[in-house]
Structures are given as structure tokens and as C-alpha cells.
Structure 1
Amino acid sequence: MKINWKVRFTNPIFYAQLVLSILAPILAYAGLSYADLTTWGALFDVLKQAVSNPYVLSLVVISLYNAVVDPTTKGHKDSLQAQTYKKPKKDVA
């Protein structure tokens, strides 16, 4: 899997995708919303329960996979053009 990790990690949107890919399936399984996590203790309790549940962990892995793989290319890699980027591409309208 050839992915341009350097460029992805310079893009704040990628971090948001990773965080949401982890939290969304955990909260959905627990029947909670983001508003229910009002303390760090509550967040850590939910994460601790998720880590001990293989089903929830598999949901998180699938969610992370979906956030990382580019659906516009064949296979599990970035396009040849995207692999050459030094920073996220800006579209010019």
C-alpha cells in the first residue's frame, strides 16, 4: 500500500478523519453522542470499554481503513499523481 503519509499528516482534515473514525463507531456502539462526553473520565471510560470489546475494535479498524484508502483509485494506494505531492493539493477554480 503506497500512500503519501507525509502529505496526509500535514493536512488537519486528515487528523479529524482519524479521530472521528475512532470515536464514531465507539460512541455508536455505546449508544452515546459526542455531547455525552463531558469529562475526560467519561471519555477514558468509554475508550477502556471499547478496547476490551473485539467487535468494537473491528468496527474501529474498518472505519480507519475507510478513512485512509482513497476510493478514487484502484487498489489500496494513492494515485501516482498524489504520491508526488509535497503538500496537499489546492484546486484552482
Structure 2
Amino acid sequence: MTKINWRVRLRNPQFIAQIAISIFVPILGYAGLTAQDLTSWAILLDLIIDAISNPYVLMIVIVSVYNAIQDPTTAGIGDSRQALTYNKPKGDK
């Protein structure tokens, strides 16, 4: 069974930013917008509703999130046995 150390990943600001970017960049790109175009909550809400109702955009977001979650240094999508034992992201020593 594939296991991912979600507790550690969700405590890592870099992972949170990577997931946010992998969701919003494909949506903005498909809509032909940039972050500067999101000048009101109504525009953002309309953009999210349009993205959710579009299967193509949802597939692009799913692929992008998959690429952000999977670890290319391990086989499959799960974390290594060593990474599953971490309580916080491993730092260089």
C-alpha cells in the first residue's frame, strides 16, 4: 500500500505553496488571466466555479497536483520508508 507522510508534508510551507501553485496556475492559464487580474472576490469565485465546471481544467489540475505530490526519487507515488518516519521535514546537516 502506498503511504505518504501527510503530517510532515502539510507542515512544510514549500509543499503548501507547490500545491497552491499547481492548482491556480493551470486555472489562470486556461482562463488567460494572470494573478494581477484577480482584483475582487467575485472574479476569483467566478474563476473557481468555471474551473470546477470544466472537465478539461479539472484534469489539468489533477495532473499538476499529482506531479507536486509524487516523489521522483522513489518508486511509485509514496514516500520512502525513511521519509515515513520523519516528524518534520528533514534538513541538511
**Shorter-normalised TM range:** over 0.9
How many residues were matched structurally?
Answer: 92
Aligned-residue CA RMSD in angstroms?
A: 0.9
Q: In the alignment, what sits opposite 1:29? A: 30
Q: In the alignment, what sits opposite 2:64? A: 63
Whole-Å separation in 1 of the counterparts to 2:15 and 2:92: 17
1:37-48 to 2 correspondences below 5 Å = 37-48=38-49
Q: In the alignment, what sits opposite 1:52? A: 53
Amino acid at match of 2:33: L
**Runs of 5+ unmatched residues, structure 2:** none
Whole-Å separation in 1 of the counterparts to 2:52 and 2:76: 29
Runs of 4+ in structure 1 over 2 Å off? none
User: Taking every aligned residue pair, what percent have the same amino acid on both sides?
Assistant: 58
- 1:50 is displaced (CA, Å) by 0.5
**Runs of 5+ unmatched residues, structure 1:** none
Whole-Å separation in 1 of the counterparts to 2:72 and 2:48: 29
Q: TM-score, normalised by structure 2?
A: 0.94
